[in-house]
Chains A and B, each alone.
Chain A
Amino acid sequence: MVTSVTSLGRNGLYDWLIQRVSAVVIAVYVIGMVGYLICNSDLDYATWSAFMGSVPMRIANTLMLFSVAAHTWIGLWSVTTDYLTSLTFGKAATSVRLVGQMAIALLLLVYILWGLLTIWGGA
């Protein structure tokens, strides 16, 4: 048993499940969005704004936002724990990894707040 306080679910199974579920949400969203854009090739601002401003799309966008953030965190957390280790950075590894993970977490937090403001700000 390896303990880790910085993984999202602090448990391998949770992280694995969140990664899969968020991947499904992202895939469904992207396919749906591509389908919408193909079906509405003569899209104008008013239609796009009304579409994105509808409650179902706001919920879908919020879901997408959190899915991307969770998916990114789990993925990049794996990358940092694979490559920012003592094998590459020696004794400085823990500091380098912590700074890297904090930078990623801060960026994702900003994206989430900014995204929520964009999605729900005009509501």
Chain B
Amino acid sequence: MKVSIYRYNPDTDREPTMKEYEVDTQGKDLMVLDILALVKEQDESLAYRRSCREGVCGSDGMNINGKNGLACITPLSEVAPGVKEGKKPLVLRPLPGLPVIRDLVVDMGVFYEQYEKVQPYLQNDQPAPAIERLQTPEDRAKLDGLYECILCACCSTSCPSFWWNPEKFLGPAALLQSYRFLADSRDNATEERLSRLDDPFSLFRCHGIMNCVSVCPKGLNPTRAIGHIRSMLLERGV
């Protein structure tokens, strides 16, 4: 099958190019990461991130035939019709909107800065109890669909609002984490958290196009979380 991969080395290349490779999958429905390993055997200069190879670490987020996803858990059969059969090429590009360090490796700096802004840790100014802060099963259930985020950046880098204003709009990943702590019964910094989201950019630049939902490899729904935060802001402000 044909594989077309974005190649760019800022030290030596004037501009990025797409390089074609021929890979023999022996008809197997391999994961995209396996294809990259086969390409790497042919051309060891290819750079990409990978670690756990099972969709837990979030290292190998990339743009696969136009859609962001994790290479390690995306089988060829799910990329697009005809890719597994070799009728269509597999096209791999880095996550859009972030500066390219080399080939498929992007600089995640601005993504992590936005994550840091939501203060993604429990804040509670009450004296700590002797053992631990308990939650009811109902309160704990509110965190389902929020805590599972692995920060792969597939969602934020598929969001046009994040492309245009990556330093002002927090992006779906950071907002999902923001709601994860707003929804936590053990956190009592709700007012401070909400007051930091009330401007026209941080949260309200989300126009609800749901690209984030369609690409999330963990099946999470940042748009819904953003809607919950908006409702909390509305209750607080009206």
Q: Which residues of A contact B (CB under 8 A)?
A: 1-4, 7, 10-17, 78, 81-83, 85, 87
Q: In the complex, A2→B170 CA distance in Å?
A: 10
Among listed B10-18, B135-143, B230-238, interface-contacting one: B230-238
Tell me which of B161, B196, B202, B230 contacts A82 (CB under 8 A): B161
Contact B164 A3, beta carbon cutoff 8 Å = no
- Do B165 and A17 touch (CB < 8 A)? no
Question: Which chain B positions have C-beta within 8 A of A85?
Answer: 164-165
A81: B residues at CB distance < 8 A: 164-165, 201
For residue B233, which residues in chain A have a CB less than 8 angstroms away from its CB? 12-13
- Interface check B204, CB cutoff 8 A: yes
Candidate in B195, B200, B205, B230 with the most chain A CB atoms within 10 angstroms = B200
- List the A side residues contacting B165 at CB < 8 Å: 81-82, 85
Residues of B within 8 A of A (CB): 160-161, 164-165, 168, 195-205, 230, 233-234, 237-238
Give the chain B neighbours of A1 by CB distance below 8 A. 195-199, 202
CA distance A85 to B97 in the complex (A): 14
Q: Which residues of B contact A10 (CB under 8 A)?
A: 200
**In whole Å, how far is A84's beta carbon from the nearest beta carbon of chain B?**
10
Distance from B216 Cβ to chain A, minimum over Cβ atoms (Å): 23
| Residues of A contacting B199 in the complex (Cβ-Cβ under 8 angstroms) | 1-4, 11-12
Q: Please measure, in the bound complex, the distance between the C-alpha atom of A113 and the C-alpha atom of B202, giving whole angstroms.
A: 34
Whether the pair B196, A15 counts as a contact (CB closer than 8 A) is: no
CA distance A13 to B197 in the complex (A): 9
Q: List 20 A-B contacts (CB under 8 A).
A: A1-B195, A1-B197, A4-B199, A4-B200, A11-B200, A12-B197, A12-B199, A12-B201, A12-B204, A13-B198, A13-B204, A13-B237, A14-B237, A15-B204, A17-B238, A81-B164, A81-B201, A85-B164, A85-B165, A87-B164
Residue from A13, A83, A87 with most neighbouring chain B CB atoms (10 Å): A13
CA separation between A55 and B19, bound complex, in Å? 69
Q: Which residue of B lies closest to A87 (CB)?
A: B164
- A81 CB to nearest chain B CB (Å): 7
Complex Cα–Cα for A81 and B165 (A): 8
Separation of A81 and B233 alpha carbons in the complex (Å)? 23
Residues of B within 8 A of A83 (CB): 164
Chain A: CB-nearest residue to B164? A82
Which residues from chain A contact B203 at a C-beta distance below 8 Å?
Answer: 12
Q: Are A16 and B201 in contact (CB under 8 A)?
A: no
Instruction: Report A46 CB to chain B, min CB distance, Å.
Output: 45
Q: Which residues of B contact A14 (CB under 8 A)?
A: 237
16 more contacts with CB within 8 A, not counting A12-B201, A13-B234, are A1-B196, A7-B200, A10-B200, A12-B197, A12-B198, A12-B204, A12-B233, A14-B237, A15-B200, A17-B234, A81-B165, A81-B201, A82-B161, A82-B164, A83-B164, A87-B164
Instruction: Quote the shortest CB–CB distance from A3 to chain B (angstroms).
Output: 7
